[in-house]
Amino acid sequence: MGAALPRKELFDIPEGVIYLDGNSLGVLPKGAVARATEVIRDEWGGQLIKAWNTAGWMALPAGVGDTIAGLIGAPAGAVATGDTLSIKVYQALAASLRMRPDRRVILSDNGNFPSDLYMAEGLINTIDKGYVLRTPAPVDVLDAITDEVAVVMLTQVDYRTGRMHNVQEVTQAAHAAGAVMIWDLAHSAGAVPVDMTASHAEFAVGCTYKYLNGGPGAPAFIYARPDIILDLQPALSGWLGHAAPFAMEQAYRPAMSTERLRVGTPSIVQLSILQEALKVWEGVDMADLRAASIRLSETFIAEVEARCASLTLASPRDPAMRGSQVSFAFENGYPAMQALIERGVIGDFRAPDIMRFGFTPLYLDQAEIVRAAEIIEDVISNEVWRDPKYHMRSRVT
């Protein structure tokens, strides 16, 4: 049995806030401020450039990667950290296309996160060799996996609705057709049990600022199946992906590990915060966390539907088919969400009409879920959202 949930004492959450947006940006772990201060004042300030060696900065990306590996069912050494999720998507896609040089189709779905699709389009335009991106509806993906497909690139948990692809089923279909498989775990890591080893997928990528609570702009990660690592030819052959960076060789020679998937200088302050944030997972069993997440989301759906007939469930009703979020469609979702946020219930909005609510059992309990539903009822039933101030659009929704 894993550690008891929730573990609110490990987080710094503002008084009076019911935070249902951990699927977009996780909350601040209590140890993060002290760790960041230590890195800035004592390591950078006190040790200067020596800290790359004396404070272990150079080894930090691999160490953090190994901790993330434990949360996604991967072995030590299979996960590299750094850069952004978009960069990691580009790396995985470019490597996958090289693995299937005679094929010209990248298959995703039309519910995938836009940045993943943008990176695919940019890569296609850069290569300029007749590649195409196909994006069927999520339910049609399996039928679209043909022998024309070089790589299947999907996000396991849909960012709008929380709908989940079946990792095993899709990966097996991709491999049966001779395609490479890439999973985006942005809404999976730290939210649902993941077993990359069992999946046999070649690649997975993800961010760490959502359920892993690494902070805004926290480094991304990329997983490569151990048996293919030494055959990968990185499209972004950065200095720190070299086998011996400080040999200062003129030609690129990739590292003999996932280190070859590193690109630029690691963001040490952010990596240190992430390293500290990952400590909240010590002793947590992902099966227990998943069960707690389902209990919270089921309570939320029942409470909201009983109180707000004008909201329509946009997420799968079967909890086994959705991640750790619940989305409701409402024509006036944007102003309604702004009214909720002002009242201390923080979720977010995604166009055109989706109100998203994330469930993070590390710091949420049943009483908060019921209270959130009561506040939602007030905002919807009393049409609080009609106030013009809630209709002014911010850059971030």
Give pLDDT tens digits for 33-59: 999 999 999 999 999 999 999 999 999
Please provide the CATH number assigned to the domain covering 56-281.
3.40.640.10
Confidence at residue 4, expressed as pLDDT on a 0 to 100 scale: 86
- What are the residue boundaries of the structural domains of the chain, listed by start? 8-29+285-391, 56-281
DSSP 12: E
Pair 205, 80: CB distance under 8 Å: no
What are residue 394's phi and psi, to 5 degrees?
A: -90, 165
CATH dotted code for 8-29+285-391: 3.90.1150.10
Looking at every residue in the chain, the average pLDDT score rounds to 96
Q: How far is CA 200 from the centre of its chain?
A: 20
pLDDT at 201 over 70: yes
What is the mean pLDDT of the segment spanning 318-337? 97
Laid out side by side, the sheet with 149-155 consists of 79-81, 221-224, 203-206, 180-184, 149-155, 105-107, 132-134
Is residue 208 within 8 A of residue 68, CB to CB? The reply is yes
Determine phi and psi for 217, rounding to 5 degrees. 75, 15
pLDDT (tens digit per residue) in 203-240: 999 999 999 999 999 999 999 999 999 999 889 999 99
306-323 pLDDT per residue, tens: 999 999 999 999 999 999
Q: What per-residue confidence (pLDDT) applies to 9? A: 95
> What pLDDT band is residue 1 in, cutting at 50, 70 and 90?
low
Q: What is the mean pLDDT of residues 184-206?
A: 98
Q: Which residues are catalytic?
A: 113, 184, 209-210, 356
